[in-house]
Structure 1
């Protein structure tokens, strides 16, 4: 585990096993340290000038620079000084963490930008994550002006994001639905958050017919976790897809490179829970009701079939035309339940499609209330986990028409898309303001995308955490 702290004692720099110095690119094509502090002389600048290949461009780092008068120095490039933002600094800290692996005591000397402390601690801890090796560095952010609150937010956000990443990376045989639900409930109870695990009888009582159907093919029974916190005066309803493994069911996935990482199909439920946990750890009072449906989607003699009809908590019925579109089915149960509850708005999160075609660096979202999308995307931008608001068009509803139920979960004529998944889910929100976030493109990376390695990212925990912190102020 990484021991992370904040200090304004500049003598710490001399005792480091590695000193990280941010640097900017100059108009002349060279590099300069962001500040002379903590030494207040030009010794670092003179050392930096010896590395002719290092120009201070964003994402670049120097070779280890050795001097008789300094600990080993690693300079990281941040680009031009006048274009610095939190995301550049966060990504630079991630690169520094990956590059400094194996060093015992690492100090990051920071004397730039009001947003710097949160970005640096967050980036370093995210960059240090390693599922197999763990995190074992002593890391200090050395800042002339110490902002303890910013440091706490960055440390907690990154630590909980890494907690999500570890859950997502856990082999599916070690994290069946009951084990996952038990972990979420135990974490909640440690933090004073009310938690319930709904078994088959409770699912029947609450009308979660779709969740029961989706999980019917597995020997591991489906469950739902209910998390509740706050007064209920301004309650936000949250839902997160928790498929601990998704084979596709009877509509078995054909692409081996996709089915190989379907352990990650519970990333949304983990991120929603983790955001609530992080906000409570930071002393916020998130007024939330979260419903996290959890199941395995497996083919067997008891599995749900294409053509089956299921009933949701609001009495609406879905014809299942594709068993591999199971995420929207279980989210529909959660949304329908929340729509009948005392919540002022609903946000659901799932790995449903490709995230709206916006790539691996963004999540896509659709809504029936534009102001809710703006609030969410603004929070994501400030947290360094941005999203994109996509239009929701009413004419797509006809593609999900069913002759035997209120709606179908898939269009046999048009194929699938994030737009159609959102169109389906919208119908269960009723009159409540509602937002759907699709993290299918960014929750788990099939290939590395610097500075992120291949694997789980923890998205969109940091965006959701920022939203909860904003609502708690």
Structure 2
């Protein structure tokens, strides 16, 4: 059920809400619109509890009724934190508040932004946290759908100053549109692989293009992909009965601008990864439906691009296939020729994502764009190194790398910059081909995978995000994530494109 958002400038004690969230940097912060008596009472209770507005800390005050609200929730923004950190604190805090409200059967939540000078940005962060935690994948269960409806809020009232109301309203509307892209990405990843084949992924792309005047799509089937020399990708696809697809989306704004930047976003699109002949263990193999989370992020981005009205030409590329064992599967020991002419010795068919991306990145690099970004659930090694909430970032261009880091900081989608040491290059040396698809050492696997991809982008500025950790989680590591797909990357990409378009 969609949540209704209302913008209001009434005093907090007059707000018609059951729950009132109060974000503060410290207890001594301004309390605009609050009666002195109520403020003194709240401060006394907070001092008694020892609440110091620690970053993202939520303190529920069930007894301290103010106005019509039966429950107050203090959200700590942290002292001396920058605006991006405050926004992330509010995302996490509002997710906690909304979860508690749903658990108690309360349906209307207010947010006091009257005392915050960053009203629009904070409003956007609050909506992101609310929408993310309110998501539920219930397509296959009436029981889950009923439970989801029972625990959902239906209205949020954002209290802000009158002079901020227009900016806050605009921020809320834009954020609601953005979150539709995040929701689409989560839905695509959460669907069982049997219902999300490469062809069905292509149909999603066609639906996005059909609903937009500024986006077109070109789908290559197996034979068309072969004519375009996607031979490495097709080798991976060879073991599956499912038809592989190369999906190329293109967004071009209407306004003429000869100096407009051109950027390619490439998503790994292995809709199910059994490991191929180098088959995976049975335990947790069902989670390999999520091996197309990079592709889902690309589709989530394109679902909202037109509404974001960004002045940048964006190409999305997904080489979609399954990696399955069969009599027609590619084998360890095979030598493949990628689209850019480089040869790859296959030592392990479960290192297939980098092989599909080799062709996709080569295809993107041919057009000499300003930058290429790829998102891929590429390595378990990255998950081991960085855990479940942080993506690894590799780049051959310092300026692009810093832009990705900045976008990640602004959206709370964490990345950690990673190295590509020259001395590791020899790990990919093959005795019979230009390179091998896995390193000769068991260590630094995520680094070697990134260095493998670098061989296919030429001199084009490129950034690689290994999203194996944060794209799909089995526990609620962040308050606004639920078990399953997170939609990681959609918000980051939009923010990155906004930055690129502005310059």
TM-score, length basis structure 1:
0.91
The yes-or-no answer on 1:247 pairing with 2:274 is yes
* Deviation of the 1:186 alpha carbon: 0.7
Q: 1:266 Cα shift?
A: 0.8
- The 1:230/1:47 distance shift into structure 2, 3 A limit, reads same
Which residue is 2:417 aligned to?
389
2:357 is paired with a residue whose SS is helix
Counting only pairs closer than 5 Å after superposition, residues 109-148 of structure 1 correspond to structure 2 as 109-111=112-114, 112-114=116-118, 115-132=121-138, 133=145, 137-144=154-161, 145-146=164-165, 147=167, 148=169
Shift of 1:13: 7.2
CA contact (8 A) 1:239 1:269 kept: yes
* 1:185-216 residue CA offsets vs partner (Å, 9 max, x unmatched): 21132123111221112211211112211122
Which residues of 2 match residues 35-74 of structure 1 at below 5 A? Answer: 36-43=31-38, 46=41, 53=49, 55=51, 56-57=53-54, 58-65=56-63, 67=65, 69-74=67-72
- SS state of the match for residue 70, structure 2? strand
Structure-to-structure mapping, 1:277-296, within 5 angstroms: 277-296=303-322
Instruction: Supply the distance in 2 between the matched residues of 1:402 and 1:53 (Cα, whole angstroms).
Output: 63
Query: Which residue in the other structure is 1:360 paired with?
Result: 388
Corresponding residue of 2:3: 3
Which of 4-13 and 240-249 deviates more? 4-13
Contact 1:276 1:465 in 2 (8 A): no
Structure 1's unaligned 5+ residue stretches are: none
Q: Distance in 2 between matches of 1:314 and 1:13?
A: 65
CA distance, structure 2, for counterparts of residue 332 and residue 38 of structure 1: 58
Could you tell me how far apart the structure 1 residues matched to 2:30 and 2:292 are?
44
Q: 1:39 to 1:255 in 2, by over 3 A?
A: same
Cα gap change, 1:16 to 1:266, in 2 (>3 Å):
farther
Cα shift at 1:296: 1.2
CA RMSD across the alignment:
2.6
Supply the distance in 2 between the matched residues of 1:20 and 1:313 (Cα, whole angstroms).
57
Counterpart for residue 299 of structure 2 = 273
Shift of 1:150: 2.8
* Greater Cα offset, 443-452 or 67-76: 67-76
Number of the residue aligned with 1:464: 493
Question: Aligned in 2, Cα 1:21/1:399: closer, same or farther, shift over 3 Å?
Answer: same
After TM superposition, the structure 1 = structure 2 runs for residues 287-306 of structure 1, keeping only pairs within 5 Å, are 287-306=313-332
Distance change in 2, residues 1:331/1:371 (3 Å) = same
Deviation string 1:307-340 (CA, Å, 9 cap, x unpaired) is 1122222122211111111111111111000111
For the residue of structure 2 that corresponds to 1:217, the secondary structure is coil
2: CA distance, partners of 1:63 / 1:261: 39
Query: 1:94 aligns to what SS in structure 2?
Result: helix
Q: Is the Cα–Cα contact under 8 Å of residues 390 and 415 in structure 2 kept in the other structure?
A: yes
Following superposition of structure 1 onto structure 2, how do residues 10-21 of structure 1 map, counting pairs within 5 Å? Answer: 10=10, 14=14, 16-21=16-21
Size of the alignment, in residue pairs?
467
CA offsets 1:30-56 (integer angstroms, 9 cap, x no match): x67x65445545436636755855725
Aligned-partner Cα distance in 1 for 2:135–2:128: 11
Residue 214 of structure 1: aligned partner? 236
Q: What does residue range 430-445 of structure 1 map to in structure 2 within 5 Å?
A: 430-445=458-473
Q: Is the CA contact 1:276–1:468 (under 8 Å) kept in the aligned structure 2?
A: no
3-state secondary structure, aligned to 1:306: coil
Change beyond 3 A, Cα 1:10–1:454: same
Q: Which runs of 5+ in 2 are unaligned?
A: 139-144
Quote the offset at 1:381 in angstroms. Answer: 0.8
CA contact (8 A) 1:271 1:458 kept: yes
| Aligned CA distance change for structure 1 residues 80 and 15 (closer, same or farther; 3 Å) | closer
For the Cα contact (< 8 Å) 1:245–1:264, is it kept in 2? Answer: yes
